Amino acid sequence: MAFIGWNLLDETKLSELLRIITPNLTYSVFQTITQSFFKSLDFQNNLLNGIPLNQIEKARLFGLESEICWIKKGSSYHIILLCENERLFNTYGSFLRSGEGDILELEPEFNEHEPEKQVILWGIRDTKAFDAEKFWFEGRIPQKLNYPLENRGERVKLLYVEYAEKNNWRSRFYRFKEVTHA
């Protein structure tokens, strides 16, 4: 079963929530006005990978059991938390609202042969390039791609869970879980 919470938080409350939740998360995808980042998660002293929270417009922080997303609107942050672990979800509960009805009747859409879904990410590692150990390349994207992996494989995939309404199996949310080699 999926546990879903949401809220509108100010920067101080978001920072408090992140201090609690980030030990359970591994990766970060976020945007400032001028740049996009996909990195291993590092949250210290109200800085997300060295960038102040108030400069981050959109973010998606995820790990094996939960994910938090937000969009900045003015000085507030609209957040959504998806979690499969009830104990973890209850830990974050004071920061979240949740409701009753079909949105909480979501189940991970598992297939017995494919417990999670995957998508191959852009780029192939060019082993002949000078900085091949750090970057992947894609001819249609005018920049190097940097994925948060220690051991660099040729291709990279993103594992995710699709949450669907229990009564009609219509997809409602996708929760990222892990980045790994394809």
27: number of Cβ within 10 Å? 21
The pLDDT value recorded for residue 147 is 80
> What's the rounded Cα separation, in Å, for the pair 129 and 135?
9
Q: For residues 45 and 53, is the Cβ–Cβ distance under 8 A?
A: no
The pLDDT value recorded for residue 112 is 47
The pLDDT value recorded for residue 3 is 80
The pLDDT value recorded for residue 168 is 67
pTM, two decimals, is: 0.81
Residue 169: left if φ>0, alpha if ψ -120 to 50, beta else—which one?
A: left
The pLDDT value recorded for residue 105 is 44
DSSP string for residues in 76-145:
EEEEEEEES-HHHHHHHGGG-B---SGGGSEEE--BTTBSSEEEEPS-B--TTSTTTTT-BB-TTSSS-B
Give the pLDDT confidence of 101-127 residue by residue, as tens digits: 333 445 555 554 455 788 888 887 766
The pLDDT value recorded for residue 77 is 96
Residues in the chain where the model's pLDDT stays below 50:
100-105, 112-113
Q: Minimal CA–CA distance to 160: which of 107, 113, 119?
A: 119
Radius of gyration of the chain (CA): 17
Q: For residues 42 and 61, is the Cβ–Cβ distance under 8 A?
A: no
The pLDDT value recorded for residue 102 is 36
Domain boundaries, the chain: 3-106, 108-164
The pLDDT value recorded for residue 128 is 66
Q: For residues 22 and 81, is the Cβ–Cβ distance under 8 A?
A: no
Burial of 165 (0-12, 13-18, 19+ CB in 10 A): middle
